[in-house]
Each structure stands twice: as structure tokens, then as C-alpha cells.
Amino acid sequence: MRAFIAVDLPQEFNDKVADVQSKFNDFKFKFVDPGIVHITVRFLGDVPDDKIPDISRALDSVKCEPFEAHVKGVGVFPKPKFTKVIWLGCEGNFDKLYESVTDSLSSFEFEPNLHRFSAHATLARVKYLPRKKKTEFLEILDELKDVDIGVMQVDAVKLKKSVLTPQGPLYETLHEVSLK
């Protein structure tokens, strides 16, 4: 199964997330349903079903105190003139959480992360951005660079299963670890 470890955004952020996404309605982007927008701490990839209990036990050893996080600002990967992902920025103790999650999973042979960890919540994927719409897109990005979604308490990480469907991904929480 396709699996990842994440921090969910609180439900009370859904309307603000949807409002930010609506600014891009004139584009044909693939938006993430606001109700499932999350911060991926570690993508695991395809994991054999029989490894899930071992991964869950390993995650129970995560050592990171709960912390406050600020979700604000819209950005893109890899760069504004060649955008593939539109995201919300997330400030907080995510580097410590990422390190602890990574340490707890060190005995497993997951693919290494190719990019430096950067806490973010994906809002949309961009397959195509017409050249004639690029200026409009960059103006909207600039307008949203300081948008404030809110402050949240990060007190748990979740091991999730992802099933990709034509309508978008479906997520199921397989294990939850309370931070302490």
C-alpha cells in the first residue's frame, strides 16, 4: 500500500483553505480537497501490508513535544515560473518532528528523501500553466504570499494509507501517535 506520515490541518481551516484555492479557479489545476489537506512529514511510498504493524510500533518511539504551528503564506515548488505544486507554508517545530520520525524509522529501508524537508501543505498540483496566464498566476501568488490561515496545535502524527482514484486521493489513518 502507498503510505505516508502526516499532521492533519484542523477542520476549522477548511473554509480558509478553500478560499485560497478559489483564487486559482480560472486555472485548470488539480486541487486537494480542503478536508484532506495535510502536512506530510515523511512519504514512505509502497509498503507491504504486513510491515504496517512494525512501522506503527516504530512510530510509537517518536520523541517530540507538542508544539504550536502557524499556517501562512502561499508558495510553489520548484519555482514560480515553473510551478508543479502550490502549497501553504507551515512554521513550527516541524524539523524536530521530521528528525524524530526519520530516526524512529531508521531500521526500515525507505527511499531517501531527495529534497530537503520543508513543512508545507499541498493545495494543488499544476500539470499545465498557459504562457498567456502566467502573469495573472504570478500576481495571485504575490497577493497570497502573506495569507494567514491560522495557528494550530500539533500534538499527533498519523500513519496514513493513500489510495489514488480518478476523483483524487482517499486517505485512511492506520495509526496515530500522540506527541509527548
With 0-12 CB in 10 A as exposed, 13-18 as middle and 19+ as buried, what is 36? middle
* Whether 172 contacts 160, CB under 8 Å: yes
pLDDT tens figures, 2-45: 999 999 999 999 999 999 999 999 999 999 999 999 999 999 99
Considering 38, 70, 115, 175, which one is annotated as catalytic? Answer: 38
Pick the CATH number of 2-178 from 3.90.79.10, 3.20.20.70, 3.90.1140.10, 3.40.50.1980: 3.90.1140.10
CA dihedral angle for residue 52, residue 61, residue 169, residue 138, rounded to 10 degrees: -150
- Rounded CA gap, 179 and 60, in Å? 9
Is 120 noted as a catalytic residue in this protein? yes
pLDDT tens figures, 96-144: 999 999 999 999 988 877 788 999 999 999 999 999 999 999 999 999 9
Is 175 noted as a catalytic residue in this protein? no
Its pTM stands at: 0.94
Q: Is the dihedral of CA 30, 35, 39, 43 positive or negative?
A: negative
